[in-house]
């Protein structure tokens, strides 16, 4: 049930000039996921009455990306500062009698636990914000305290004196404010500062409670691609540490990149230079060798994913082997105990239990039965230049090397397809299909052919 006393505003309108891109800053990926998604995930975990995302630069891109999320949008047409951004959302809380939590769309590392502790401690306060002490405060607003530790003000760096710039406690930009108080204090914000912007920090001028957080790494504000890389490293490190503590062997965590939505069972071994992302699930006792990339796929237990293989939106059944150098394109389904070997590519297929394609093969738009052996160089010719067509191969079929199946076509159970055949007609079960031309041996041909070539080269007739 939604928390009727809480609404969340996410500031996501900034262009991100230092990213040097037309893409809105909050859509840049951190550890394989747009940074704004992390912030919305955190907001959703609090179960607020409403989540309002303030958009501006690249507004339509953000709308499209978030179209399936339960959020409202407010447009900040001109980027005139964080205070101005919240002013645009005033209608969302003008009649609201609860708290407004303000989050930054470019802070993906902030933990749910940190926000929950902040809210719990700030319940009785009219205005609260999170601060943190950092090693390098450059670029952040400094928190000025009195001798007794209470807040004097927040000074943006461009307005701070040299002495104030030496302070190491910064404002993170995360606030919790009574809705009615927020509406009143927004009226007092001015743009009389070095940047001629309406700073949200001005809402603390009439007093605010400070919540000093412990870990500065949670509050990395991503303003350039260097910070983007740092944030990704932190997330990957946290994910890998959690997996290793739960029974996953990661040979070299520094060179292993696993997304936050990936599920991995115990006794899985993962070698370096591996990328696993999306909603991937990996079963126990599976080994993933170096250089693999796995996206939105299910790998069941006791599988081997060999070196430099790519698996996309696919299913790999238990006790299967994939690779090395294999590519499972979307909608490939290996039902179990399968072998997909060197330089084999599959797309939109079902591969029955125990079937094998060991090397140099393309299988697309096909339904292949159990215990089928697919020989080297086999191709399902699924595209006629206009439409895709399906190849259906029954159980216990043996396919020789260098075979082309020209779809649509059906091969019956137990059939034998001779090497070098181009199959254009259905094959009944237990039949041999062969389309080779008769072999001819012309004795003495090579000697005569070479003599003719040499005479021609020397100008002889």
> Taking the alpha carbons of 447, 448, 449, 451 in that order, is the dihedral positive or negative?
positive
CATH superfamily of 3-225: Spore Coat Polysaccharide Biosynthesis Protein SpsA; Chain A (3.90.550.10)
Long-range contacts of the stretch 447-450 (C-beta < 8 A, 24+): none
Side-chain-facing half-sphere of 21: CA atoms under 13 Å:
13
d(CA 87, CA 82): 9
d(CA 108, CA 402): 51
Give the residue carrying structure tokens 């699930």.
281
CB 392 within 8 A of CB 369: no
DSSP-derived 3-state class of residue 259: coil
- What is the DSSP track for 414-440? T-EE-TT-EE-S-B-TT-EE--PPPP-
DSSP-derived 3-state class of residue 66: coil
pLDDT at 1: 52
Catalytic annotation on 359?
yes
pLDDT at 458: 82
Parts of the chain with a pLDDT under 50: none
pLDDT at 4: 74
CATH class of residue range 329-461: mainly beta
pLDDT at 2: 62
Distances (CA, A) of 424 to 366, 380, 406, 411, 427: 15, 11, 5, 11, 9
Cα angle 49, 52, 56 (rounded to 5 degrees) comes to 175
- pLDDT, tens digit (0-9, with 9 covering 90-100), for 326-385: 999 999 999 999 999 999 999 999 999 999 999 999 999 999 999 999 999 999 999 999
pLDDT at 135: 94
Distances (CA, A) of 323 to 207, 298, 331: 63, 16, 17
Token pair in block for residue 356 = 């094998």
pLDDT at 461: 65
Token pair in block for residue 411 = 């091969």
- Is residue 408 reached through a cis peptide bond, with omega within 30 degrees of 0 on the bond before it? yes
d(CA 173, CA 164): 18
Q: Which listed residue (65, 84, 327, 359) is catalytic?
A: 359
Q: 246-328 is classed in which CATH architecture?
A: 3 Solenoid (2.160)
d(CA 281, CA 314): 11
Tell me where in the chain the CATH 3.90.550.10 domain(s) lie: 3-225
pLDDT at 457: 81
Strand partners, 333: 315, 350
DSSP-derived 3-state class of residue 330: coil
Tell me where in the chain the CATH 2.160.10.10 domain(s) lie: 246-328, 329-461
- pLDDT, tens digit (0-9, with 9 covering 90-100), for 292-322: 999 999 999 999 999 999 999 999 999 999 9
d(CA 23, CA 29): 11
Q: Give the global pTM.
A: 0.88
């Amino acid at each position: 049930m939604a928390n009727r006393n809480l609404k969340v505003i996410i500031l996501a309108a900034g262009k991100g000039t230092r990213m040097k891109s037309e893409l809105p800053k909050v859509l840049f990926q951190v550890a394989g996921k747009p940074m704004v998604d992390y912030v919305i995930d955190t907001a959703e975990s609090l179960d607020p009455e409403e989540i309002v995302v303030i958009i501006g630069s690249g507004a339509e891109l953000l709308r499209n990306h978030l179209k399936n999320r339960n959020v409202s949008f407010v447009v900040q047409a001109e980027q005139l500062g964080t205070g101005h951004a919240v002013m645009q959302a005033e209608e969302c809380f003008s009649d609201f009698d609860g708290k407004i939590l303000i989050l930054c769309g470019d802070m993906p590392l902030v933990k749910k636990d940190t926000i929950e502790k902040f809210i719990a401690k700030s319940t009785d306060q009219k205005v609260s914000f999170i601060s943190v002490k950092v090693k390098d405060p450059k670029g952040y607003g400094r928190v000025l305290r009195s001798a007794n530790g209470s807040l004097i003000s927040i000074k943006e760096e461009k307005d701070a004196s040299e002495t104030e710039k030496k302070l190491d406690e910064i404002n993170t930009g995360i606030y919790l404010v009574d809705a009615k108080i927020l509406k009143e204090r927004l009226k007092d914000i001015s743009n009389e500062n070095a940047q001629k912007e309406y700073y949200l920090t001005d809402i603390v001028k009439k007093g605010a409670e400070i919540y000093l957080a412990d870990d500065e790494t949670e509050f990395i504000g991503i303003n350039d691609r260097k910070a983007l890389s740092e944030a990704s490293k932190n997330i990957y490190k946290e994910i890998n540490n959690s997996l290793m503590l739960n029974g996953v062997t990661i040979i070299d965590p520094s060179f292993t990149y696993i997304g936050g939505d990936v599920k991995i069972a115990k006794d899985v071994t993962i070698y370096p230079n591996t990328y696993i992302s999306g909603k991937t699930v990996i079963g126990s006792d599976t080994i993933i060798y170096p250089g693999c990339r796995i996206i939105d796929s299910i790998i069941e237990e006791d599988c081997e994913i060999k070196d430099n293989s790519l698996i996309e939106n696919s299913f790999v059944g238990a006790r299967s082997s994939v690779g090395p150098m294999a590519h499972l394109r979307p909608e490939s389904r290996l039902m179990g105990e399968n072998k997909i070997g060197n330089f084999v590519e599959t797309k939109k297929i079902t591969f029955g239990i125990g079937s094998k394609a060991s090397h140099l093969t393309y299988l697309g738009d096909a339904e292949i039965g159990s215990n089928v052996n697919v020989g080297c160089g086999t191709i399902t010719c699924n595209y006629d230049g206009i439409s895709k067509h399906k190849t259906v191969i029954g159980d216990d079929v043996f396919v020789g090397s260098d075979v082309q199946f020209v779809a649509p076509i059906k091969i019956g159970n137990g059939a034998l397809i001779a090497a070098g055949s181009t199959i254009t007609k259905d094959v009944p079960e237990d039949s041999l299909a062969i389309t080779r031309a008769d072999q001819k041996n012309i004795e003495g041909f090579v000697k005569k052919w070479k003599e003719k070539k040499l005479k021609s080269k020397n100008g002889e007739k």
